[in-house]
Chains A and B, each alone.
Chain A
């Protein structure tokens, strides 16, 4: 079936450190890939997306590249800030049962310290 696997957290970094959160997927067909961010007590916000192989999504200094050969969509940021502390979810969307459904990974909590 379709699934998303993320690296386990929490990830703890100092401000200005480099961030990588690994995400790999299993899917039939050609899914679209997403990263969502969830701040404490809130719903999810779309961070970035990529809809086909080799596409790079980017937003707010974060980026991720759709790698079909390795079925990966790793999230990176060159210099994190305290305000980036949140839970990050990797997700894929594919047609299943006639509907486009988002399937989420388990989430990775990021804590950035000054």
Chain B
């Protein structure tokens, strides 16, 4: 079946550093990818929607300069948390929509998430 690979699965780093998270669709093309943030025991909060080759669309309240998204190819999107601080610690999940088929029926597949801890 369709697989979305998210890397790294876990990262710990010092406050002030930047962290890049990769999201790859392994056996399908994904024109659109999504980035979510999940706090402990809470639901997924959509951060941004990215389309290959264009700028990401950020949800209200999400700082685009803080969370840089690049979707340079049909199989890869990256999220960079710039100058990370402890409050950025969270579980980040990416999702990729399979470009094949009718738009309204395109399945959305999820990565296994990245646990980010900022000390």
Contacts and interface: CB of A to CB of B under 8 A. Distances in A.
Given A97-B57, A99-B57, A43 B42 contact: no
Contacts of A45: 110
A105 interface: yes
B113 A43 contact: yes
A26 interface: no
Contact of A102 (B42, B46, B103, B112): B46
Contacts of B103: 100
Nearest to A109: B41
Contacts, number: 53
Taking residues whose C-beta sits less than 8 angstroms from the other chain, chain A's interface range is 20 to 34
Interface in A1-60: 32, 36, 41-46, 51
B80 interface: no
Contacts of A89: 43-44
Which of A32, A41, A51, A97 has most chain B Cβ within 10 Å? A41
Interface of A is mostly: strand
Given A99-B57, A101-B46, A109-B41, A42 B112 contact: yes
Interface residues of B, number: 26
Nearest to B115: A41
B29 interface: no
Contacts of A105: 43
A86 B10 CA distance: 20
B107 A43 contact: no
B108 A102 contact: yes
Contacts of B93: 43-44
B36 to A, nearest CB: 8
A45 to B, nearest CB: 7
A104 interface: yes
B110 A99 contact: no
Interface of A: 32, 36, 41-46, 51, 89, 93, 95, 97, 99-107, 109
Going nearest first, the 8 A-B pairs with the smallest beta carbon separation are: A43-B110, A44-B110, A43-B112, A106-B43, A43-B113, A104-B43, A104-B44, A43-B111
Given A42-B113, A95-B104, 12 more contacts: A43-B111, A43-B113, A44-B93, A46-B108, A51-B105, A100-B104, A102-B34, A104-B43, A104-B44, A106-B42, A107-B42, A107-B43
